[in-house]
Every structure is written in C-alpha cells, then in structure tokens.
C-alpha cells in the first residue's frame, strides 16, 4: 500500500475505512463520547455559519439603509409635507431617481419601511397625494403585489401590514388567493387587508365558524381601524348587529357591541337590550350594558336594575356604570343599595364611583356615606376623591 498513490474518492474511502476500523475497537462509552463531540462540533459549525450570515446581512442592510437615507430622506420629507401637489414625473426628477436602474428587492423592502417611519414622523403635516405619488414614482405597487405573491411568509405578512399602514391598495387578483393560504397568519393578514379596501363582500370572514380561533385582543383595534378607514374613504361599513345575532364567534361579539357604541347607533338599542337577557356571554353582557348607558337609552334602566342581583360581579359593575352614564336621576337608591349589598370590593368601588359621578344628589349621598363608613371602607372614599393617594393605603384596602 505504501507504493500505491490514491486519488479522489479512493483517497477518502481509504481513510474512511481506516478510522472506522480504529473507532470500532473502542469501548462503548468512548464511542458515545466521540459521537456526541462530533455532533456538537457539527452543530456549532452550522450555527456559527448562520450567525455569520445574519451578521453580514445586517451590515449590508445598514449600508443600504444609510444609502437610502442620504440619497432620498430629506428630499422626500420636503415633498411629502409640501401643500402643492407634485406629479409622479416631477417627483422622479426632484429625487433624481433613475427608472432604468430601479431599486432592488432588498432596497425596496427597506425603503417601504422608511416610508412608514416618515408617515409617523410627519403625521398631520403629510400631504397624502404627494405621499401616494412618491410610492408610484418608485413603482412600489407592483413590488407590493410581487411580494404578496412570491416572497417568504414573513415578508408577505410584513407587506400586508405595510399596505394598510401606508393606506395603499393592491389588485384583488393578487390578494384573493392569500385569503385561503394554508398559513393561518398570512391568511389572517390578507383578510384584514381585504376588509381594509375591498368592496366585494369584504366582511364575509366574520361569518366563518373558525374566526374565533385566530382572534386576538389586538384584532379589536385592527378591525376598528378598518371601519374608520372605510368611513373616511366613503366606503360601506357593515351593520354589525347581524354578527351579534349569529350563533357563532362568541369572542368577537363584544367588539361589535363596542362598535355600535362608538358609531352611536341608537336604533340598535332595543335589540341589544333583548340580547342582554338572552345571551350567556358575560363579556357581551358587559359591553351591551355599557353601550346602553353611553347612548342614554333610559328605557333599559329599570330592566337592568331588576336583573342586577342575578348577575355575576363583572356584569354588576357594568350595570352600575350604565346607570351612572344614563344620569336619569331615578337610580340614586339603587346605587346606595349596590354599595351596601356588595360583597366584592370592585363592585363596592363601582357603586361609590357611580354615586360620586351622579350629579349633586349623588355627591351629597356619597359624602353622607363617607361620614358613616367604617375604617375598612374609608380608604375607598379617599381613593375615589383622590386616586393618587399613597401606595401603602391602597395595599391596606
């Protein structure tokens, strides 16, 4: 073998069998130890390479971002706040943007993020027409559509979010396939974007039986913003009572009760009152009670009071808040009774706050109760009159 010269695969094969035969003669513990060490070295090498790639990517992103800021930031801000409307062609000339050498994919992603930051920074001074024309000047709408269709999931989700934030729109042909994407996060983001701008039955997703499963507290803000945006652009907003009536999506129903309150749709109050007594959804009952109080639907006052003793503590507090907001002047005795009968400190606090806010008579009754209060309740009165009392007293209460 000493006179034989090995090349290529034969060379590798020779040493493979050589070390294999050496290795096979070791005790089991040594074999396991060597195996663990080799696997650890391999994993460490892979992780090191990935970290190095990420680090180099961050450096590249910083360089691109620096270039975009130096080249375009100041000029874009001037155009974006200028009350005079600039055409797309004027913006291209002003920014000295070469359409023959457009920004690359990575550059456009970072540039879109910059535009989002500019919108926050410029706020009310922003000229939306110029802002939209800047987006057109850089051909970002086709870029948005390509990202939604072909990019990795994280870039798709980010783009769907940015489209809503930048108040832009994309073709329904591009968006509709994403409404049924296997990835639930992409599907949800696409549905929100579809509701944001579309006129083709945009709220169909509220009818889905699985809408609850992906619903998160942040979605309440998102859906409310969608309603407001559509109203601002003279697009239709739905009659949300149809989903309160629906037998599914119980988690979302309190949100729709809040929306009725926000849009002050007083003609829905009779239906909401009936739903209050029919539903087993405690969160929905709370929001209905607050909605009826906010809209001063006094026809519901005595009915809410009659049901008070049978309600859970959270609903009791909502009924007290509702009656307080109505300010009919007929519920002073109810608020006093709610204070004396309360076994939960939050309910007792709600009753006292109701009295304190219930006009001159309520304030007078509050002061009389304070004079007769025992030491355990005195702190509650102090807290309502002055919420900034010291922390030690709060802990005692």
CB under 8 A, 24+ apart: contacts of 365-373:
365/332, 365/335, 365/336, 369/336, 369/339
Mean pLDDT of the 87-92 span: 93
What is residue 172's predicted lDDT score, i.e. its pLDDT? Answer: 86
Q: For residues 394 and 397, what is the distance between their CA atoms, to the nearest angstrom?
A: 5
pLDDT of residue 6: 64
* Share of residues in the chain with pLDDT > 90 (%): 54
What band does 397 get if pLDDT is binned at 50, 70 and 90? very low
What does the pLDDT average to over 107-116?
Answer: 93
230-241 residue pLDDT tens: 888 888 888 888
Q: State pLDDT tens for residues 164-189.
A: 889 888 888 899 899 888 888 898 88
Q: pLDDT per residue over 311-337, tens digit each?
A: 999 999 999 999 999 999 889 999 999
In this predicted structure, the answer to whether residue 32 has a pLDDT above a threshold of 50 is yes
Q: Is the pLDDT of residue 392 over 60?
A: no
Compute the distance between CA of residue 189 and CA of residue 202 in angstroms, rounded to an integer.
13
* pLDDT tens column, 259-269: 999 988 899 99
Confidence band (pLDDT; 50, 70, 90) for 301? very high
Structure-token pair, residue 236: 């239709």
Stretch 202-212: mean pLDDT: 75
| pLDDT computed for residue 23 by the predictor | 76
Q: What's the chain's average pLDDT?
A: 88
pTM of model > 0.75: no
Residue 393 pLDDT greater than 50, yes or no:
no
Tell me the per-residue pLDDT of 346-364, one tens digit each, with 9 for 90 and over.
999 999 999 999 989 999 9
User: Does an H or E element contain 291, and which?
Assistant: helix 282-294
* Helix boundaries (H) for 138-183: 140-150, 153-165, 172-175
Segment 116-133, tens digit of pLDDT: 998 888 888 899 999 999
Q: Which distant-in-sequence residues (6+ apart) come within 8 Å of 127 by Cβ?
A: 80, 81, 82, 83, 85
pLDDT confidence tier of residue 276, bands split at 50, 70 and 90: very high
Burial class of residue 225 (count of CB atoms within 10 Å of its CB; 0-12, 13-18, 19+): middle
- What pLDDT, on a 0 to 100 scale, did the predictor assign at position 396? 47
pLDDT value at position 56? 94
Q: Does 243 have pLDDT greater than 50?
A: yes
Q: How far is CA 242 from CA 204, 248, 293, 320, in A?
A: 12, 11, 21, 27
Strand extents, DSSP E, 82-239: none
Q: Output Rg (C-alpha) for the chain, integer angstroms.
A: 32
User: pLDDT confidence of 394, banded at 50, 70, 90?
Assistant: very low
Beta carbons of 315 and 338 less than 8 angstroms apart: no
The model's confidence at residue 201, banded by pLDDT at 50, 70 and 90, is confident
pLDDT at 387 over 90: no
Q: At 4, is the pLDDT very low, low, confident or very high (cuts 50, 70, 90)?
A: low
> pLDDT grade, residue 395 (50/70/90)?
very low
pLDDT range class, residue 210, cuts 50, 70, 90: low
Q: Which of 288, 289, 284, 272 is nearest to 354 (CA)?
A: 289
Residue 208 has pLDDT above 80, yes or no: no
Would you say residue 70 has pLDDT above 50?
yes
């Amino acid at each position: 073998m000493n006179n034989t010269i090995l090349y290529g695969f034969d060379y590798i094969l020779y040493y493979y069998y050589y070390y294999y035969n050496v290795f096979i003669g070791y005790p089991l513990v040594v074999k396991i130890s060597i195996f663990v060490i080799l696997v650890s070295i391999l994993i460490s090498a892979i992780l090191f390479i990935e970290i190095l790639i990420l680090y180099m990517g961050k450096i590249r992103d910083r360089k691109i971002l620096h270039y975009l800021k130096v080249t375009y930031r100041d000029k874009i801000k001037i155009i974006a706040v200028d009350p005079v409307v600039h055409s797309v062609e004027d913006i291209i000339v002003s920014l000295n943007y070469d359409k023959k050498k457009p920004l690359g994919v990575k550059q456009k992603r970072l540039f879109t993020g910059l535009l989002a930051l500019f919108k926050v920074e410029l706020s009310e001074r922003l000229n939306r027409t110029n802002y939209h024309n800047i987006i057109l000047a850089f051909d970002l709408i086709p870029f948005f559509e390509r990202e939604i269709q072909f990019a990795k999931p994280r870039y798709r989700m980010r783009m769907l979010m940015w489209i809503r934030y930048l108040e832009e729109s994309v073709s329904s042909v591009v968006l509709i396939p994403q409404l049924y994407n296997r990835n639930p996060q992409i599907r949800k983001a696409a549905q929100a974007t579809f509701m944001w701008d579309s006129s083709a039955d945009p709220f169909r997703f509220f009818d889905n039986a699985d809408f609850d499963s992906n619903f998160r507290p942040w979605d309440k803000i998102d859906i409310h913003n969608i309603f407001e945006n559509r109203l601002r652009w003279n697009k239709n907003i739905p009659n949300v009572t149809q989903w309160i009536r629906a037998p599914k999506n119980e988690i979302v129903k309190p949100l729709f009760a809040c929306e009725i309150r926000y849009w002050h749709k007083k003609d829905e109050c009779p239906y909401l009152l009936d739903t209050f007594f029919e539903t087993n959804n405690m969160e929905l009952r709370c929001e209905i009670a607050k909605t009826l109080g906010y809209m001063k639907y006094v026809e519901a006052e005595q009915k809410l009071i009659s049901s008070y003793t049978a309600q859970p503590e959270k609903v009791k507090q909502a009924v007290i808040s509702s009656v307080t907001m109505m300010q009919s002047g007929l519920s002073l005795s109810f608020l006093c009774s709610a204070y004396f009968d309360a076994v939960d400190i939050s309910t007792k606090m709600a009753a006292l706050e109701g009295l304190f806010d219930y006009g001159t008579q309520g304030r007078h009754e509050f002061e009389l109760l304070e004079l007769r209060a025992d030491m355990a309740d005195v702190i509650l009165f102090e807290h309502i009159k002055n919420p900034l009392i010291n922390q030690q007293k709060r802990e005692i209460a």
